[in-house]
Chains A and B, each alone.
Chain A
Amino acid sequence: MDKLSLKEIKELEEKAKNIRKSILIALCNAGSGHTGGSLGMTDIFTYLFFKGLKNDPQNPKWEERDRLVLSNGHICPVYYATLGERGYFSKENFENNLRKFNSPFQGHPHRKFLDILETSSGPLGEGLSQAVGIALALKIDKNNYNKKVYCLVGDGELDEGQNWEALMTANKYKLDNLIIIVDRNKVQLSGKTEEIMPLDSLYFKLESFNLNVINIDGHNFEQIHNAIEEAKNIEGKASVIIAHTIIAKGVKEWEGDYHWHGKAPNKDELELALKEI
């Protein structure tokens, strides 16, 4: 397995900084939206679009691309900002138009307005089944065998029973082309996951579904890389990467605070945050 070089890590860190800034500017302009999860998943998104995922901004619907389903659609600012940084569209367009009327950058992702998305999402707990559907469809056609399906889910949304239906299906059909990444920041809208509906031991729950489960620090590019490489090469099993992340990562004063789940920074907060990043 190839290791990430120090140079690559540096470059990814630089990209992640730009993406975090773009997220914050867009959310401040929008006046509402989900800051915490977006900042928390920035390193994973950066890795995926700049290293792990087969994708081509010049040809967004490239047949050979890997597929990505964002189940917890509310963290779409990080998705849009990463696509902007990668060159799918101009960053300024995103920063000025997030959550604006008739914008490609809807409050929750909608294919009708941004057709490079694999699917629309928002209502929690439904992305994983859709990713299973994509993975199954790719398996039917032999020449699609090498394409991977990435599905990003929040830990809070695992409260929804449909996820576990999807995981059973992933096991039944041995979907080794499916790589699930759980944003394990341990907070959800109104508090800590372990108080609202305890999830732990998440690792053993998932392992008991006969999935290949990997725990990582979701802000460590080397660990992200190694886990994705392992998941890409596993046979006969879907993989779940439990990415331990910190909500609102990058702005010390906000880190770990669930109040940042669903609010946008005001101008003063933006200034502080941009300085820190």
Chain B
Amino acid sequence: MLNPNLKLNTKIFNIDVEKKSERDGFGDGLVLVGSKNENVIALTADLKDSVKMSEFANRFPERFFDVGIAEQNLVSIASGMTAEGKIPFIASYSIFCPGRSWEQIRTNICYNNRPVKIIGSHAGISTGPDGGSHQSLEDIALTRILPNMTVIVPCDAIETKKATIACTKIETPTYIRISRNETPKITTEETPFEIGKAQIVYAPEQGIAQVGIIASGPILYRALLTVKELEKNGIKVKIMNLSTIKPLDEKAIIDLAKETKRIVTCEDHQINGGVGSSVSECLSKNYPTIIEMIGIEDKFGQTGTPEELEKYYKIDKESIIEKVEKILRK
């Protein structure tokens, strides 16, 4: 059953579940923080509409900057602004920021420990028809290895809005990874959110779960969709929303592993260096546990609908079910 304490969307299992894009959630959050804090600045690299900065730009034109198609410049300018007490949000496609501008992020933002908020949109294979060149599958790895950086992968639009608001209050660099398409609303306005806190969103009504599923990002929805079939087959699972990758909620992960003894991680990102790696680093140090990983297995993407790609690259619902069944045979 859904964790009642989290006040999640009770219609999540309905076929007509309400959807909204994470980028729209970011746009909403940005306007909110911008109206409350005059130090909030928004910058983009020719992607104002695409990364949903238009409303902010309309309301606060003196605090909006478009630096052209120049992501390295984007990062360093934002770093400079923090020297004068500003809180810049920079948004681009995650393949270009952090992808194109990684060393500037490392040196100008993280080495300087400046509170720049980086929004990487169009992350993951679910970006779809744009093709492999535009599907960022490496950005979690690129950002989580940077000292001082906080890394957040929200599961839906509402959580993205909350992450946008929450990161304004921390004085360190932040990366928020968001996706392009409309995805189901898993959480509600009432769902609590705290940077660095993982949440158990689903648990068996009775008895102990045999497998712990840890998901980051909108793939959490597909993880939730597995329970119907799994429970029909007598398999009990607990599902965690791991929305902060760094700092990692080690206690919550270890507690889950202690209870279930088996963990399946889910992400729309390379398994190497991503969520699966983060979880296994934590568990192998603290509580060695059998792990299976859902994610992209050292490949680049290609053109297709999100559904076609998720199936082909084995990050769809059926693949999660297979991994859960597989880990139970171990």
Where the two chains meet, the residues of A that have a C-beta atom closer than 8 Å to any C-beta of B are: 67, 69, 110-112, 118-123, 126, 129-138, 140-141, 144, 161-162, 165-166, 168-169, 172-173
Contact = CB atoms under 8 A, between A and B. Distances in A.
A130 B80 contact: yes
Contacts of B73: 129, 132, 162, 165-166, 169
Given A122-B107, A165-B72, 12 more contacts: A69-B80, A119-B108, A123-B103, A131-B80, A133-B77, A133-B80, A133-B82, A134-B83, A135-B80, A136-B81, A166-B76, A173-B65
Contacts of B81: 133-134, 136-137
A134 B68 CA distance: 18
B113 interface: yes
A168 B68 contact: yes
A169 B103 contact: no
Given A123-B103, A169-B73, A133 B111 contact: no
A120 B77 contact: no
Interface string B99-113: 000011001100111
Nearest to A167: B73
B78 interface: yes
Contacts of B84: 134, 137-138, 141, 144
A129 B107 contact: no
A119 B82 CA distance: 10
B210 to A, nearest CB: 47
B173 to A, nearest CB: 13
Interface of B: 41, 62-63, 65, 67-68, 70, 72-73, 75-86, 88, 103-104, 107-108, 111-113
Main secondary structure of the interface of A (DSSP, over half): helix
A162 B72 contact: yes
Given A120-B111, A126-B107, A165-B73, A133 B68 contact: no
A130 B76 contact: yes
A138 B80 CA distance: 10
A174 B41 CA distance: 18
Nearest to A161: B72
Contacts of B112: 111, 119-120
A119 B79 contact: yes
A179 to B, nearest CB: 15
A275 B65 CA distance: 53
Contact of A123 (B68, B82, B107): B107
5 cross-chain pairs, A with B, having the tightest CB-CB distances, nearest first: A133-B80, A129-B76, A137-B84, A130-B80, A165-B73
Contact of B72 (A69, A129, A134): A129
B75 to A, nearest CB: 8
A125 to B, nearest CB: 8
A132 B108 CA distance: 13
A169 B75 CA distance: 13
A168 B45 CA distance: 13
B62 A133 contact: no
A162 B76 contact: yes
A129 B62 contact: no
B108 A130 contact: yes
Contacts of A166: 73, 76-77
A136 B65 contact: yes
Contacts of B41: 137, 140
A120 to B, nearest CB: 5
Contacts of B80: 69, 119, 129-137
Contacts of B82: 133
A76 B107 CA distance: 16
Given A138-B84, A165-B72, A133 B107 contact: no
Contacts of B77: 129-130, 132-133, 136, 166, 169
A43 B81 CA distance: 29
A69 B76 CA distance: 12
A172 B73 CA distance: 13
Contacts of B78: 133
A136 B82 CA distance: 11
A37 B203 CA distance: 64
Contacts of B107: 120-123, 126
B113 A112 contact: yes
A216 B204 CA distance: 76
A133 B83 contact: yes
A161 B76 CA distance: 13
A124 to B, nearest CB: 11
A165 B83 contact: no
Contact of A126 (B63, B76, B85): B76
A118 B62 CA distance: 24
Nearest to A110: B111
A75 to B, nearest CB: 17
A142 to B, nearest CB: 10
Contacts of A126: 72, 76, 104, 107-108
